[in-house]
Chains A and B, each alone.
Chain A
Amino acid sequence: MTELHTPQAGDDAAPDNDVVGLLMRQHGDVRNLFDEVETSEGDARQEAFRRLVRLLSVHETAKEEVVHPYVRRNVVGGDGIVEDRLAEARSAKEALSALDDMDTNDPKFLSQLLALRADVQEHARAEERYEFTHIRRSADTAGLASLAKGIKAAEAMAPTRPHPGVESAKANMALGPVAALVDRTRDAVRKAAGRD
């Protein structure tokens, strides 16, 4: 049996004219990366974990830049919906930053990773059910597509598969800390949205 590879959201040939569909596929990419971290060992685990951290950071930043402002502006009760999502995201971010400094070979790593995974998964489903449905209901086709453009720009910042030449954990670290990545993601999203 050959191992099938699912390309990350944005790299598949979907038309990406619907921000919700794109974000839902990205939730699957995150889940796939959790699987990869859990099942790998040593340097491979370290490297997969770096990719997971990057994807989560980029995904959350892009949503804060693109999706939440839209929901606040266009959905009745949108502020409350966004506040609830931000609260979930905060707890996931705290768990993430605790893990971020940890050696993936640390015996405590896996149990903390599983706790993070549970937080992230609950947050993702809550978004799909309580936030994304409102977006699809209130945005027209062009609106969904322009939101998708912003998310796609962010996506390019966090490949879920190792880039050629960035295979080792050390090289990945060279991409810089999460904070810098978040800044670069914001810039990319704002540029795509023409908001510079």
Chain B
Amino acid sequence: MTFNPLEQRGIPLDRQLRNWRELNVAPIDPDHCDPYTRCRIITMNGIEVEAIMFSHHMARRSPDVEVKRQLAGTRYIEAQQQRVVNWLLPGVSSVLETTIAYEQVAVDLTAWVARMEPDPYLKQAYQFGVLEDFDHLYRYANLYEMIEHRKADAIVDGLTEVMPGRPTKYHHRNPVDNVRDPYDKDEVNPLSKLHALTITSTEQQTMNFYMNTGPTYMEPIARQLYQEIGLIEEEHVTHYESLVDPGETWWEQLVNHEYNECYLYHSFMEQESDPRIKAIWELHLNMELEHLHIACDLMRRHDGRDPESVLAPQLPDVLTFEPNKAYLRELLDTQIDLTTLGAGYVREAHERFEKMQEDIHGGEEPPSERVMTQHDEMFGREYRLSTEGEHPDPALREK
């Protein structure tokens, strides 16, 4: 890639505002779209939500009213970007359908990042997390067939396998064991900063989605499953956000956010199969280039440093949505029985883990287990989609 966002100028900020007609985008067709188009939409929504909320938090910490005004100006455009991106999702989709697409994002995005991550400690964090999202996909897929009589394959379209990962009931850890050690901002590969920000943002959006849409269900098992998995997303946000060096200044973080948006819109523009959506990625990239430029100016002025000193010299290889089946199967084979202890990983169920398990389950099966029992009562089987043969872990093969 020869594309260097620092050397490009985008659309001037005062020409980025869109009117109602331009904001009123037609949604994708849930039954005929490229599943990875939907994944890219969900990813960019998470990225834009993080951009908006980060800017709000920064503004709240800024005593300088001129800085507040500049942040407000860029943030309003980012809010419009979020409204366009997320409004590409169709009203005819159910919450559960969208949930399965969120988990497809979590699986294939996290797996890709794990494959590409150069730092071994960070790589381990993604490998650990992806096996949990993989299991969430499987539990929600079974709920989906119960409530809507539809198979998750109609959504993931054979690109992502649907079968047990690390069982959801074991994801409930003592919160202190969800805090990882941060990377060192001065030592780490700039790509690693982008990875951590991307996965934190998408997991955060998943958490927000589950904690707000879960109670819209009337079926008791659905309400309970969203509550359970929603709490695991809280753990995942803690897990991923703690990877980021807290010593990065607000200005530096702002630049990282804008740079990451350029990186992702550029990546998705390069691979988008739907020409109409590709045009949106391209437009947003051209907006982000200007947001990055503004953020760099702020950093130079207020931080007294060159943004080049914290960014990659050029854009990394495009982040890609593609099947990760072989990679996931290798992780299923080797890392399914891991848990965390302090900032590290262990195989034994240690005391703090056991205590948390005992307290949260209260001697009963959690919703993630009961959904499987209820599905079995209804259909006399479970739902799974294994396109590459039986499960790598003999204990998790279908009985």
Contacts and interface: CB of A to CB of B under 8 A. Distances in A.
Interface string B77-94: 000000000000001101
B151 interface: yes
B149 A4 contact: no
A125 B94 contact: yes
A35 B157 CA distance: 12
Contact of A25 (B149, B151, B383): B149
A95 B148 CA distance: 24
Interface in B139-160: 145-151, 154
Interface in B379-395: 379-381, 383, 385-387
B364 interface: no
Contacts of A117: 31
A21 B219 contact: yes
Nearest to B374: A14
12 contacts: A1-B385, A13-B377, A14-B378, A24-B148, A26-B149, A28-B148, A29-B149, A32-B154, A114-B32, A118-B29, A125-B91, A128-B94
Interface string B91-120: 110100000000000000000000000000
Contacts of B148: 24-25, 27-28
Given A6-B145, A12-B378, A136 B31 contact: no
Nearest to B218: A136
B219 A13 contact: no
A20 B222 CA distance: 15
A125 B386 CA distance: 30
Contacts of A12: 149, 378-379
Contact of B31 (A1, A7, A28, A34): A34
10 closest A-B pairs by beta carbon, nearest first, are A28-B149, A28-B148, A25-B149, A28-B150, A121-B92, A125-B92, A12-B378, A13-B378, A14-B378, A6-B149
A103 interface: no
A105 to B, nearest CB: 21
B94 to A, nearest CB: 7
Contact of B147 (A25, A122, A124): A25
Contacts of A25: 147-149
Nearest to B148: A28
A161 interface: no
Interface string A158-176: 0000000000000000000
Contact of B387 (A1, A7, A24, A136): A1
B interface SS class: loop
Interface of A: 1, 4, 6-9, 12-14, 20-21, 24-29, 31-32, 34-35, 114, 117-118, 121-122, 124-125, 128, 133, 136
A4 B151 contact: yes
B379 A6 contact: yes
Contacts of B154: 31-32, 35
A14 B219 CA distance: 13
A117 B90 CA distance: 14
Of A34, A121, A128, most B-chain CB atoms within 10 Å: A121
Nearest to A26: B149
Interface string B228-262: 00000000000000000000000000000000000
Contacts of B219: 21
A32 B385 contact: no
A4 B386 contact: no
A122 B31 CA distance: 13
A133 to B, nearest CB: 8
A6 B151 contact: yes
Of A4, A7, A124, A136, most B-chain CB atoms within 10 Å: A4
A64 to B, nearest CB: 22
A32 B218 contact: no
A21 B94 contact: no
Nearest to A6: B149
A54 B348 CA distance: 57
Contacts of B380: 13
A24 B147 contact: yes
Contact of B150 (A14, A32, A128): A32
Contacts of A121: 31, 92
Contacts of B378: 12-14
Nearest to B161: A1
A151 B283 CA distance: 50
A164 to B, nearest CB: 20
Of B31, B146, B385, most A-chain CB atoms within 10 Å: B31
Given A12-B378, A13-B377, A32-B150, A1 B92 contact: no
Contacts of A20: 218
A28 B143 CA distance: 13
A26 to B, nearest CB: 8
Of A31, A34, A124, most B-chain CB atoms within 10 Å: A31
Contact of B379 (A7, A21, A34, A136): A7
B383 to A, nearest CB: 7
A21 B387 CA distance: 30
B162 to A, nearest CB: 11
A13 B29 CA distance: 32
Interface in B341-399: 377-381, 383, 385-387
